[in-house]
Copies of this chain bind each other. A is one copy, B any other.
């Protein structure tokens, strides 16, 4: 994997710009559960995901979480470098959901190239628009979808990401993804179990009837 795999506009940068970005790269390996970026407390730089999985979430004052998007191989985490844009007035936390290998581009280097390169600035625009779209989808989910639909969508998405019907997830973890409480998730999962859609056991959830879960989406 090379830096070009992350930037389709690489060939529209001049040699000097390419060299500055390339030379600034540092490799980083993070363990599952590690926090990579924490609100506006730091500006870690742009994170290029080489392998693994990251999750960006927001945190309430009371410590409740909700996942706003996830990043996989070849994705770029822009908001860990939010200091490059003055108008970003919100704080996200980025956590490794799996062991993750990254390249980091320091925020100041990226910012300097973006200031002079229209292709990089426009590409950054597209990155932000993608994340914006994720967040708008989330708003619609929260506003118009009931929790049963959101939970079934989450279980099906997890099964697709992990390539398995046997999900190793605690109810607490699910609550954090969905901005809910553990007790509420447990109650809903028990309802799913009574309906024959899942089977619950300690630390895992087995999907028994995918099509019935899918029907919940309406």
Q: Hey, which bits of chain A sit against chain B, CB under 8 A?
A: 58, 60-62, 64, 66, 68, 85-90, 114-118, 120-122, 124-133, 135-140, 142-144, 179
Contacts and interface: CB of A to CB of B under 8 A. Distances in A.
Given A87-B132, A87-B133, A131-B132, 18 more contacts: A62-B144, A64-B143, A64-B144, A66-B139, A66-B143, A85-B125, A88-B132, A89-B130, A89-B136, A90-B132, A90-B136, A116-B118, A118-B118, A121-B121, A121-B125, A125-B128, A128-B128, A139-B139
A166 to B, nearest CB: 30
A114 B122 CA distance: 8
B58 A136 contact: yes
A87 B135 contact: no
Contacts of A89: 130, 133, 136-137
A128 B86 CA distance: 11
Nearest to A90: B136
7 contacts: A58-B136, A86-B126, A87-B130, A90-B132, A124-B125, A135-B139, A143-B179
Nearest to A124: B125
Nearest to A86: B126
A147 to B, nearest CB: 13
This chain's copy number in the assembly: 2
A81 to B, nearest CB: 12
A103 to B, nearest CB: 22
A203 to B, nearest CB: 27
A114 B127 CA distance: 16
Contacts of A64: 143-144
Contact of A118 (B90, B121, B135): B121
B135 A60 contact: no
Contacts of A132: 87-88, 90, 128, 131-132, 135
Contacts of A62: 144
A137 to B, nearest CB: 7
Contact of A117 (B58, B88, B118, B179): B118
A137 B90 contact: yes
